[in-house]
Amino acid sequence: MEKATLDEARTKFKETWYRIDNMFNLYAKKKGLNFTSLIILEFIYDSHDSKMLYTQKDLCDKLFLPKQLVNSIVTSFWEQGFVELKEAKDRRNKKISLTEKGKEYADEIIRALDAAENKTWDYFDDEEIIAFVSSMEKYEKAFEEVINNM
């Protein structure tokens, strides 16, 4: 592949990544959230179903977000009655669990988002999905190595 074509492909990748990111932002906005709140809600929702509840520290570590931001969002969810904080082994860190009201709220938002993502995969055959995911994992590992060596 020629250099110009490779440069165009890299530019297209970056632009596509930003557009997809923007779609999540627009969806969050439609639901009265911001992108970070949507992602945190999704993690809490997914952990609620698996019974493996997260603490705020877990969310910070998994999402690479500052403690103050996660705390602010979780506090907002708590004030709205969407989450409750349960005692954990370490009394300083509480497990975040959806209340019944929070489960109903998250069901509407996260299930629709999951359905949209799953429907999107219907545009691809199995081999394309496997190749895409494999390429993204390879990209992530390579990018992490490059960033860590800077």
pLDDT (0 to 100) of residue 92: 78
Closest CA to 85 of 64, 59, 66, 112: 59
Contact present, 41 and 106 (Cβ < 8 Å)? yes
Start-to-end CA distance of the chain, whole Å, equals 28
Per-residue pLDDT of the chain (150 residues; tens, 9 = 90+): 677 799 999 999 999 999 999 999 999 999 999 999 999 999 999 998 777 899 999 999 999 999 999 999 999 999 999 999 988 777 778 999 999 999 999 999 999 999 999 999 999 999 999 999 999 999 999 999 999 999
Handedness of CA 18, 39, 77, 93 (dihedral sign): negative
pLDDT (0 to 100) of residue 52: 85
Contact present, 47 and 83 (Cβ < 8 Å)? no
State how far the alpha carbon of 102 is from the alpha carbons of 61, 64, 90, 108, in Å. Answer: 23, 24, 24, 10
Helix spans in 1-150 (H) = 3-30, 35-50, 56-63, 67-79, 100-121, 126-148
pLDDT (0 to 100) of residue 1: 62
Which tokens in the block code for residue 83? Answer: 């989450």
Calculate the CA 103 to chain-centre distance.
17
